[in-house]
Amino acid sequence: MAGEETFQGERATVVSATTAQLVTGIGRVCRILVIAGAQIDVYDDTASVNKIFSVAATTGQVYQLDCPVRVGLRVVVAAGGSATVIYSGN
């Protein structure tokens, strides 16, 4: 049977107590795996505007977002926090 391989996320980046611009332009945020709990905010932008996800995360949580971004993917993790972000984009 012919088919097309599908996947979710081609990259993984650990974001620890900082702001990370992971993608500029079109992409997709797939999952967030919380390593150390803290406030986590995700933006579809290259600045901290146009928030698409926000949570006071606890250690061990996994968030399945599967959300497209058009302008960029920016992730902000508050002090003391750390998370692995699975995403696609440039």
- For the chain, 90 residues long, the average pLDDT of each consecutive 10-residue run is 60 96 95 97 95 98 95 97 94
Which pair of structure tokens corresponds to residue 47? 């600045």
Q: What secondary structure, in 3-state letters, does the chain show? A: CCCCCCCCCCEEEEEECCEEEEEECCEEEEEEEEEECCEEEEEECCCCCCEEEEEECCCCCEEEEEEEECCEEEEEECCCCEEEEEEEEC
pLDDT score at 1: 45
pTM of the model: 0.90
pLDDT score at 6: 57
Domains by residue range for the chain, with CATH: 12-89 (2.60.120)
